[in-house]
Structures are given as C-alpha cells and as structure tokens.
Amino acid sequence: MADPTAVVMLSMGEPNDLDDVRRYFSALLMDRELMQLPMQKRLSPLMARMSAPGARRQHAEVGGPRLKGWLERQGEAMVRALDDLSPATAPHRHYLALRYSDPSTDATLRRMKADGVRRAVAMPQFPQFSCTTSGSSLNELWRGVERTGLHSAFTWSVLDRWYRHPAYVASMAETVRAGLADFDAGDRDRVLLLFSAHSMPMKVINKGDPYPHEIHASVDAIMDELDVPNAYRVSFQSKVGPVPWLGPSTIAAVEKLAGQGVTKVLVVCVAFTSDHIETLYEIDVDLFRRAEAAGIREIRRAPAPNVRPAFVTALAEIVAGHLKSGEAASAQYPVQCLGCDNALCRTVVHSVAGGYDTTEPTATLR
C-alpha cells in the first residue's frame, strides 16, 4: 500500500474545555507573531485573568468549544473526496495542528511519522492569508519540525491562500443564498449583506499584510458569483487587546446601518470556515442583541461552511489542484510583507520544489 499523503490543517484552535479558557487566552496574548503589546510578558497574563471568566461564560452559553470537532469532521469528509479526485496521491489522511490547544504541532508531526507519511501539504484553515494567522501557523509548524528533529522526514508544500478559488467562492455564495432564503421572498433583495471578518492589529496591516485586500477580493468574487442586487458592506470583529485594530467594527457597522434606516441584515462570516465562539456568541448572541437595540428589525447569519457538501467539495478540489500542480506554494508566498521583520516568514522546510528552506529554521520574531 502506498504511503499516505498528509493534509495538515493548521488553526489557532480553541480552549480544550471550559477549564482551559484562561490558559488558552494567556498563550494567545503572549504570541508576538499575533500581536505586539507594550510590556507583553507582564500585561498578557493580567489580560487573560481578567477576560477568562467572561469568555468561559460565553463558551458555556453556546455549549462549549466547537472548533476542533468541526475541523475533524471537515478533514474526514475532505480526504474521502480527495481519494476520488486524486487517486495518484491516495490514500490521504488529515491531521490537525492547533496553535494553542490539542493536538499540538509536535504531537501531530510525531503521529505523522508513526503513520508512515512522507508527503505533506500544510493547509492553514484561513482562506485569506495574514501573517498573524496563516503565516504564524506555518512558522510554528517549521519550528515544530526542528524541535522534533523531523526536518527531512516529510516533503512539504504549502496551500497558503485560497480566497478566490472558484470552488471556495461558490461554496460561500451557497451559504449566502441559504441565509437569504430565511427572509420573506418579497424582502430578500432589500436585505443588506454585511460581510464580517476577523480583525487584525493595525501594526500588522501597516507592514503590508495582504489580509485586507484578500478579504475584499473574496467578497467581490462572492458577490459576482451571487449576481444579486443587494447592497453589501465589509466590517471586522473580534478585536483583542489595547492596540488599534482594523475597522470598522461589526458592532459599529450595525449601529451605523440602523441609523441610516437599514432594517434587514444578513451577516456573512467570510473569514471563518466553521462555527465557534466568534460566530455562535459574538454574532448570534452579542451582535444580534445590539442590533435589536439599535433598531434593526431582522438580522440573521448565513450558515457557516462547516461540512456543507459544497464546502467539503471545495476543500478537496483545492487540495487536489495543489497536489497536481507540484508547486511548493503560491507565487505570492515567498515575497515577504514590505515591513516584515520576522526572519522565519515565507519558509517551506524540505520543500517539494526546493528553494524555500530558511537558513535560520529556529528564528524568532525580532
């Protein structure tokens, strides 16, 4: 039997359980590839301690952490479809490597070695590339390769972004249609589509991070695919910490729209591929409550991709096309942001195509 081809699904993760919330937030806030705070080593544990009780209540209200479960189900469905689409690289196995929760990067790499994997695709679960999400997850993967002594164990390539892939765009358009179907037929054309994406620190954006462009490019492609007359706007959510973040905020956007006389809104979480605290609580509970108070008469959220058939097909088609290409990464990947000061960025260790390996595999943020 052929050696399995691994698809390593990279994500920040969520708390492992309700009792893990404080540890999770402390790890997240200490990560200088995600955000840089003044006196970060002293400030982050304090912020985690202050935010943990509220975050724990929010997770409890929506039934506990959900992200890992969805990632597992997406991965299982994706590789089943991928075996049919790409028999030359079959069998395929999915692996999770979660930045701040289990399974950790190191544990996943050791499991891959034990399973006989030799060819691996690193696939951040963020359609739009940012140095804080996809980039930092990949950097942690390469550090894990060095920590475990598995530098030459696997031949790697990177699926670093897929924000305009036709199958992804079509799957997102399908979720918008499903969301619009919940409104009365006579009102659907007048529903404002509010595309909400995770925000990023402005310090990152000002270094030339491509994330804002790729979010807007995804939205434009989805609207072209939909071919509907609805007005639409883009906003950003999930700000963390006392530094400036990319706006406008989704909460402020809804309040502004209400002030302009908008009464019906469909929120589309364009950067999230599954349901978790940032959809189930931030949008479905907190935002909806604020929208009602502001005067929005009807607000709904388009369903998350989760394991909807169109999205599972998209994941499989994206990976199959990447494997067929033989490329180590996209053309954009090796070019650092113009203000980047991280020596590890844009690496592919032991690349399928060569030419990407860093000379500083354990480099840290300077």
> Are 239 and 314 members of one domain?
no
Of 24, 100, 232, 281, the active-site residue reads 100
Active site residue 39: no
Output the pLDDT for position 43.
80
Residue 97 φ/ψ, nearest 5 degrees: -130, 105
Output the pLDDT for position 365.
31
Q: How far is CA 63 from the centre of its chain?
A: 21
Tokens of 314: 């998209």
> Are 170 and 216 members of one domain?
yes
CA distance 318 to 81: 11
* Contact in structure between 74 and 306 (CB atoms under 8 Å): yes
Active site residue 12: yes
Active site residue 95: no
CA distance 279 to 274: 8
Of 10, 28, 141, 344, the active-site residue reads 28
| Beta pairing, strands 92-98 & 5-11 | parallel
Q: Where does the pLDDT of residue 356 fall: very low under 50, low under 70, confident under 90, or very high at 90 and above?
A: low
Active site residue 198: yes
> Are 312 and 216 members of one domain?
no
DSSP letters, 19-57, are GGHHHHHHHHHT-TTT---TTHHHHHHHHHHHHHHHHHH
What pLDDT, in 10s, does the model give residues 256-305? 999 999 999 999 999 999 999 999 999 999 999 999 999 999 999 999 99
Q: Report whether pLDDT(148) > 50.
A: yes
Q: Report whether pLDDT(362) > 80.
A: no
CA distance 57 to 170: 35
* Number of Cβ atoms within 10 Å of the Cβ of 354: 9
DSSP letters, 136-154, are HHHHHHHHHHHHTT-TTTS
Of 22, 93, 198, 301, the active-site residue reads 198
Identify which has the larger pLDDT, 156 or 241: 156
Of 10, 29, 34, 246, the active-site residue reads 34
> Are 262 and 187 members of one domain?
yes
What pLDDT, in 10s, does the model give residues 104-127? 999 999 999 999 999 999 999 999
Non-local (6+) Cβ contacts of 52 within 8 A are 21, 22, 25
Active site residue 100: yes
Alpha carbon distances (Å) from 177 to 191, 205, 253: 12, 31, 22
Q: Report whether pLDDT(189) > 80.
A: yes
- Of 301, 332, 347, the residue that ends a domain is 301
| Beta pairing, strands 264-269 & 298-301 | parallel
- Of 301, 328, 354, the residue that ends a domain is 301
79: domain CATH number is: 3.40.50.1400
Mean pLDDT of the region 201-215: 95
> Are 133 and 9 members of one domain?
yes
> Are 138 and 239 members of one domain?
no
> Are 282 and 364 members of one domain?
no
- Of 301, 321, 341, the residue that ends a domain is 301
pTM of the model: 0.93
Domain count, the chain: 3
Active site residue 18: no
**Could you give the percent of the chain with pLDDT greater than 70?**
96
Active site residue 61: no
What pLDDT, in 10s, does the model give residues 16-61? 999 999 998 888 888 888 777 777 788 888 888 888 899 899 999 9
What pLDDT, in 10s, does the model give residues 50-100? 888 998 999 999 999 999 999 999 999 999 999 999 999 999 999 999 999
> Are 118 and 85 members of one domain?
yes
Active site residue 232: no
Q: Considering the chain, what is the average pLDDT of its residues?
A: 93
> Are 124 and 99 members of one domain?
yes
> Are 120 and 1 members of one domain?
yes
Sheet holding 155-158, edge to edge: 92-98, 5-11, 119-124, 155-158
* Contact in structure between 20 and 52 (CB atoms under 8 Å): no
Of 282, 315, 322, 346, the active-site residue reads 282
Mean pLDDT of the region 230-250: 92
Output the pLDDT for position 361.
41
Of 22, 66, 99, 161, the active-site residue reads 99
- Domain range spanning residue 40? 18-61
165 is in an annotated binding site: no
Mean pLDDT of the region 225-251: 93
Candidate from 158-167, 311-320, 336-345 with smallest mean pLDDT: 336-345
Helix, strand, coil fractions of the chain, as percent rounded to 5: 45, 15, 40
Of 31, 174, 209, 275, the active-site residue reads 275
Q: Where does the pLDDT of residue 207 fall: very low under 50, low under 70, confident under 90, or very high at 90 and above?
A: very high
Q: In a 10 Å sphere around its CB, with 0-12 CB exposed, 13-18 middle and 19+ buried, how is residue 310 labelled?
A: middle
198 is in an annotated binding site: yes
CA distance 21 to 51: 9
Residue 293 φ/ψ, nearest 5 degrees: -65, -30
> Are 198 and 313 members of one domain?
no
Of 10, 12, 47, 123, the active-site residue reads 12
CA distance 171 to 338: 32
Active site residue 85: no
- Per the document, the length of the chain is 366
Mean pLDDT of the region 133-141: 95
> Are 273 and 218 members of one domain?
yes
Alpha carbon distances (Å) from 137 to 9, 34, 62, 257, 301: 10, 10, 26, 35, 28
Output the pLDDT for position 298.
98
